[in-house]
């Protein structure tokens, strides 16, 4: 089966921002997904380089339109590889082949009588590059650009769009998936209840020269949409190249709601007039907002994808955007929420599962995939969940519900982390008669990781490659063939690599700690003195100790120390505490445990790591045993 996915071609009147990156990441992800489902997939993006807006921007920059479009188009092209976005084609509307095909289409449509010359007066929005109807205005302004459109009256060429209105209504009604999500299908159908006006497709060269000349009247150039929309077919060699036969009408377009009308109304009617089958589906997403306002070059509140990649890495940015937005609805961007996903979903949940599992295989199974024995109920439960995840993931991805697809993956990650605590491989390792059980538990974990990496290959390609390399898998991902349980070969070498995701510091974290530390500093010293002198303290003295319940969310050995572990605790805000327990606990076995900490100790540096507090432990004949609570309780609860 063929699959052809496109993004809008972006205007080159401004540099790429996160909104552009989102549509393009979605296209890349879905293309990778289809490929790992063995579909023949193609992905196209590019730049839209004609029109008033481009000339304005070039003039503003003091360069010729050609120099300007080359520069900004180059920025779009260069923005994608750092995000692991790999289009098969990057089209530019200034490409000669595109221009020729647009002209030959214009001639055909003109010859068949679907383009005519007429006088037109209307309200033109420069931002939208189209005439708006009175109904679309909000308080006299264009709702997207918050400016009043300009009244324009001139002679122009028109495309007989109204002729195809009934056909379009029938097509949308007969093909429920033509426009998704449904809200946008309904919006288009409701718009089509009113008679459709014909579409102005030209500009006189007296007003605009930066466009494609009409082949039948060189005093005019095409107006932006008749040029831009056609990119979807010129990019695959319409009319006679093999690629066109191979990928049309398998096309699926991704856009945001700002350009719904051109894609849902202009484009299918244009295709119908040209005599080409309509595209297969239109996928419409919402806006990325910053503080409730659409991120847009016009407003200037933009986030640059390159800066985020430098700070967080491509896979974190891809994961965040796909996980945080429900496709179709608006979503809000903030660095805080990106940081929270990085630390909690990626470093804590996935990163910990991965490093704990591999470290245990290294310690208890000699760095090799062990052989699985009979599955216990708990092994079977995790195995079933991991296999069911593959089906759920596929279904949600096919429906463009990326956030749900990722929720399904993270549900299994959570389950696997609990499975480690429940099956405590470090306990099993203490008794050689448990060898088979231990091997089965470790195998179950590795096999779960393999299935997780299989799903993640489309969303976080770099992470999936790292995971597979550690698991000793050197075949490419194939969701149809590899989505079964038990494919990992025993005896295969396992490599423990770097942590998948670094934990990152929250801004303002230090401040919070200082606030907590201050009231107790100094006084605590006196308290210790009082314990030393008479062995008794007053209740007042006791209340100066800020004891809290904290969950260990990450643990690692401190280099060059046999005794110290660096712990990341949630109490409920995150803090680092250094604990002298490495001889008694392996890092992998304490993750997820709740302990009691002294939260208001003055920070102290141990082997180069600053510790913000102290974990309480009992020292008995059995060795050092960590404090805990008898039932789970919210992190940060006060111990009194
Ligand atoms: O409209 N949130 O180009 P454009 C989500 N050249 N997506 C956003 C966004 C936001 N805040 N801001 C922009 C054009 N986008 C025409 C298209 S197609 C034949 C011609 C994304 O540079 C989203 O995909 O204004 C939106 O549809 C597109 O950028 C608009 O890009």
Query: Has 145 been annotated as catalytic?
Result: yes
One domain, residues 223 and 102: yes
**Model confidence at 508, in pLDDT bands (50, 70, 90)?**
very low
Dist. CA 363–CA 361, nearest whole Å: 5
Residue 522 has pLDDT above 50, yes or no: no
Measure CA 218 to chain center: 45
Longest dimension (CA), the chain: 105
Options 31, 53, 98, 125, the catalytic residue:
125
Q: Give tens-digit pLDDT for 68-100.
A: 999 999 999 999 999 999 999 999 999 999 999
**Model confidence at 415, in pLDDT bands (50, 70, 90)?**
very high
One domain, residues 276 and 364: no
CA 90 – ligand 1 centroid, Å: 16
**Model confidence at 466, in pLDDT bands (50, 70, 90)?**
very high
What is the per-residue burial (b if ≥16 Cβ within 10 Å, else e) of 485-518?
Answer: beebeeeeebeeeeebbebbeeeeeeeebeebbe
With respect to residue 96, please indicate whether it lies within any of the assigned structural domains. Answer: yes
Please answer whether residues 348 and 410 qualify as being in contact, where contact means their C-beta atoms are separated by less than 8 angstroms: no
Q: Model's pTM, two decimal places?
A: 0.83
Query: Has 612 been annotated as catalytic?
Result: no
Average the pLDDT over 602-629 and give the result. 88
Please answer whether residues 175 and 217 qualify as being in contact, where contact means their C-beta atoms are separated by less than 8 angstroms: no
Average the pLDDT over 189-197 and give the result. 96
Dig out the tokens for 390 from the structure.
């593959």
Q: Which residues pair with 288 in a beta bridge?
A: 331
With respect to residue 291, please indicate whether it lies within any of the assigned structural domains. Answer: no
One domain, residues 27 and 134: yes
Q: Is residue 164 lining ligand 1, measured as CB closer than 6 Å?
A: no
Q: Give tens-digit pLDDT for 233-289.
A: 999 999 999 999 999 999 999 999 999 999 999 999 999 999 999 999 999 999 999
Domain that holds residue 568: 536-640
Placement of tokens 């505490």 in the chain: 577
CATH at 50: 3.40.50.620
Please answer whether residues 105 and 229 qualify as being in contact, where contact means their C-beta atoms are separated by less than 8 angstroms: no
**Residue 525 in 3-state DSSP?**
helix
Query: Has 37 been annotated as catalytic?
Result: no
The pLDDT score that the predictor gives to residue 503 is 87
One domain, residues 193 and 256: yes
**Residue 217 in 3-state DSSP?**
strand
With respect to residue 529, please indicate whether it lies within any of the assigned structural domains. Answer: no
Of 137-151, 373-387, 456-470, the range with the lowest mean pLDDT is: 137-151
CATH at 619: 2.40.50.140
Of 88-102, 239-253, 387-401, 512-526, the range with the lowest mean pLDDT is: 512-526
Dig out the tokens for 597 from the structure.
């900490």
The pLDDT score that the predictor gives to residue 506 is 65
Residues 6+ apart with CB under 8 A from 218: 205
Q: What is the 3-state secondary structure (H, E, C) of 548-617?
A: EEEEEEEEEECCCCCCCEEEEEECCCEEEEEECCCCCCCHHHHCCCEEEEECCCCCEEECCEEECCEECE
Q: Give tens-digit pLDDT for 1-46.
A: 899 999 999 999 889 999 999 999 999 999 999 999 999 999 999 9
One domain, residues 279 and 140: yes
Task: Supply the mean pLDDT for the chain.
Answer: 91
Dist. CA 184–CA 178, nearest whole Å: 10
Out of 482, 503, 523, a domain closes at 482
Average the pLDDT over 430-443 and give the result. 97
CA 13 – ligand 1 centroid, Å: 12
Dig out the tokens for 452 from the structure.
């997780």
One domain, residues 104 and 177: yes
Q: Cβ-count burial of 44 within 10 angstroms (0-12 exposed, 13-18 middle, 19+ buried)?
A: buried
Q: Give tens-digit pLDDT for 485-504.
A: 999 999 999 999 889 998 88
One domain, residues 51 and 179: yes
The pLDDT score that the predictor gives to residue 516 is 34
Residue with the smallest CA separation from ligand 1 atom 27 is 256
Q: How many CB atoms lie within 10 A of CB 416?
A: 23
Query: Has 98 been annotated as catalytic?
Result: no
Please answer whether residues 445 and 470 qualify as being in contact, where contact means their C-beta atoms are separated by less than 8 angstroms: no
Out of 285, 319, 342, a domain closes at 285
Q: Is residue 445 lining ligand 1, measured as CB closer than 6 Å?
A: no
Q: Give tens-digit pLDDT for 140-176.
A: 999 888 899 999 888 999 999 999 999 999 999 999 9
Dist. CA 514–CA 496, nearest whole Å: 37
The pLDDT score that the predictor gives to residue 583 is 86
Strand order in the sheet with 288-290: 293-294, 288-290, 331-332
One domain, residues 105 and 241: yes
One domain, residues 338 and 439: yes
CA 20 – ligand 1 centroid, Å: 6
Q: What is the number of domains present in the chain? A: 3
Q: Is residue 294 lining ligand 1, measured as CB closer than 6 Å?
A: yes
Placement of tokens 């903030």 in the chain: 334
Radius of gyration of the chain (CA): 30
The pLDDT score that the predictor gives to residue 577 is 94
Strand (E) or helix (H) holding 262 = none
Residue with the smallest CA separation from ligand 1 atom 7 is 19
**Model confidence at 509, in pLDDT bands (50, 70, 90)?**
very low
Q: Is residue 10 lining ligand 1, measured as CB closer than 6 Å?
A: yes
Q: Give tens-digit pLDDT for 546-605.
A: 999 999 998 998 888 888 999 999 998 889 999 999 988 888 888 888 999 999 998 888
**Residue 30 in 3-state DSSP?**
helix
Residues 6+ apart with CB under 8 A from 140: 148
With respect to residue 521, please indicate whether it lies within any of the assigned structural domains. Answer: no
Dist. CA 44–CA 98, nearest whole Å: 14
The pLDDT score that the predictor gives to residue 561 is 87
One domain, residues 444 and 342: yes
Query: Has 492 been annotated as catalytic?
Result: no
CATH at 390: 1.10.730.10
One domain, residues 277 and 345: no
With respect to residue 152, please indicate whether it lies within any of the assigned structural domains. Answer: yes
Residue 515 has pLDDT above 70, yes or no: no
Please answer whether residues 167 and 181 qualify as being in contact, where contact means their C-beta atoms are separated by less than 8 angstroms: no
With respect to residue 531, please indicate whether it lies within any of the assigned structural domains. Answer: no
Query: Has 17 been annotated as catalytic?
Result: yes
Q: How many CB atoms lie within 10 A of CB 86?
A: 12
CA 131 – ligand 1 centroid, Å: 18
One domain, residues 46 and 185: yes
Of residues 88, 9, 8, 91, the one with CA closest to residue 41: 88
Secondary structure letter of residue 301 according to DSSP = -
Out of 285, 311, 342, a domain closes at 285
**Model confidence at 301, in pLDDT bands (50, 70, 90)?**
confident
**Model confidence at 527, in pLDDT bands (50, 70, 90)?**
very low
- Would you put residue 88 in left (φ > 0), alpha (ψ -120 to 50) or beta? alpha
Degrees (nearest 5) of the Cα angle 454, 485, 384? 100
CA 46 – ligand 1 centroid, Å: 12
Count how many Cα atoms sit within 13 Å of the Cα of residue 373 in the half-sphere of its side chain: 9
Using DSSP bridges, classify how beta strands 594-598 and 604-606 pair: parallel, antiparallel or unpaired.
unpaired
Q: How many CB atoms lie within 10 A of CB 297?
A: 18
With respect to residue 503, please indicate whether it lies within any of the assigned structural domains. Answer: no
Of residues 161, 106, 102, 99, the one with CA closest to residue 130: 161
Residue 299 has pLDDT above 90, yes or no: no
Report the Cα–Cα distance between both ends of the chain, in Å, rounded: 65
With respect to residue 78, please indicate whether it lies within any of the assigned structural domains. Answer: yes
Q: Which of 9, 20, 54 to mutate to test the pocket of ligand 1 (most atoms within 8 A of CB)?
A: 20
Residue 526 has pLDDT above 80, yes or no: no
């Amino acid at each position: 089966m063929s699959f052809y996915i496109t993004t809008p071609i972006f205007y080159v009147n401004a540099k790429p921002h996160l909104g552009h990156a989102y549509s393009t990441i979605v296209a890349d992800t879905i293309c990778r997904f289809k490929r790992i489902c063995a579909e023949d997939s193609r992905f196209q993006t590019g730049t839209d380089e004609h029109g008033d807006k481009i000339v304005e921007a070039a003039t503003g920059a003091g360069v010729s339109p050609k120099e300007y479009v080359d520069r900004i188009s180059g920025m779009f092209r260069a923005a994608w590889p750092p995000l692991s976005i790999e289009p098969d084609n990057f089209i530019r509307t200034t490409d000669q082949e595109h221009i020729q095909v647009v002209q030959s289409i214009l001639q055909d449509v003109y010859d068949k009588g679907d383009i005519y010359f007429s006088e037109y007066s209307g309200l033109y929005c420069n931002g939208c590059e189209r005439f708006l109807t009175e109904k679309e205005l909000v308080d006299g302004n264009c709702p997207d650009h918050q400016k009043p459109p300009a009244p324009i009256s001139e002679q122009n060429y028109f495309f007989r769009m109204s002729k195809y209105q009934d056909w379009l209504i029938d097509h949308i009604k007969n093909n429920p998936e033509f426009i998704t999500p449904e809200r946008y299908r309904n919006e288009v159908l409701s718009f089509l209840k009113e008679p459709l006006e014909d579409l102005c497709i030209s500009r006189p060269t007296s007003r605009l020269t930066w466009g494609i000349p009409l082949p039948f009247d060189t005093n005019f150039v095409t107006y932006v949409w008749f040029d831009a929309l056609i990119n979807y077919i010129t990019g695959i060699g319409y009319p006679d190249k093999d690629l066109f036969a191979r990928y049309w009408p398998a096309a699926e377009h991704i856009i945001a709601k700002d350009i719904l009308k051109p894609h849902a109304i202009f484009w299918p009617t244009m295709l119908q007039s040209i005599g080409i089958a309509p595209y297969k589906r239109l996928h419409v997403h919402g806006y990325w907002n910053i503080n409730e306002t659409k991120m847009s070059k016009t407003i200037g509140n933009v986030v640059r994808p390159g800066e985020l990649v430098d700070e967080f890495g491509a896979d974190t940015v891809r994961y965040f955007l796909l996980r945080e937005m429900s496709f179709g609805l608006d979503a809000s961007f903030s660095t805080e929420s990106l940081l929270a996903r990085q630390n909690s979903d990626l470093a804590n949940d996935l990163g910990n599962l991965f490093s704990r599992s591999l470290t245990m295989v290294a310690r208890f199974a000699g760095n090799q995939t062990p052989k699985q024995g009979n599955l216990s109920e708990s092994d079977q439960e995790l195995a079933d969940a991991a296999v069911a995840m593959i089906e759920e993931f596929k279904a949600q991805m096919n429906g463009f519900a990326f956030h749900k697809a990722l929720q399904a993956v993270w549900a299994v990650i959570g389950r696997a982390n609990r499975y480690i605590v429940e099956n405590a491989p470090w306990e099993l390792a203490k008794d050689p008669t448990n060898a088979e059980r231990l091997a089965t538990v470790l195998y179950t974990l590795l096999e779960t990781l393999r299935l997780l990496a299989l799903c993640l290959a489309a969303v976080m390609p770099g992470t999936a490659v790292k995971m597979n390399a550690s698991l000793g898998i050197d075949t490419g991902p194939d969701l149809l063939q590899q989505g079964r349980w038990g494919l990992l070969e025993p005896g295969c070498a396992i490599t423990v690599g770097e942590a998948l995701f670094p934990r990152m510091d929250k801004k303002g974290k230090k401040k919070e700690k200082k606030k907590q530390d201050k009231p107790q500093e100094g006084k605590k010293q006196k308290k210790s003195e009082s314990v030393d002198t008479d062995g008794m303290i007053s209740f007042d003295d006791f209340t100066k100790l800020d004891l809290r319940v904290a969950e260990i969310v990450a643990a690692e050995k401190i280099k060059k120390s046999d005794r110290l572990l660096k712990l990341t605790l949630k109490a409920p805000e995150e803090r680092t505490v250094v604990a002298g327990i490495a001889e008694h606990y392996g890092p992998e076995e304490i993750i997820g445990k709740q302990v009691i900490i002294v939260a208001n100790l003055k920070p102290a540096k141990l082997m180069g790591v600053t510790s913000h507090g102290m974990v309480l432990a009992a020292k008995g004949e059995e060795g050092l045993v960590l404090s805990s609570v008898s039932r789970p309780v919210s992190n940060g609860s006060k111990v009194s």
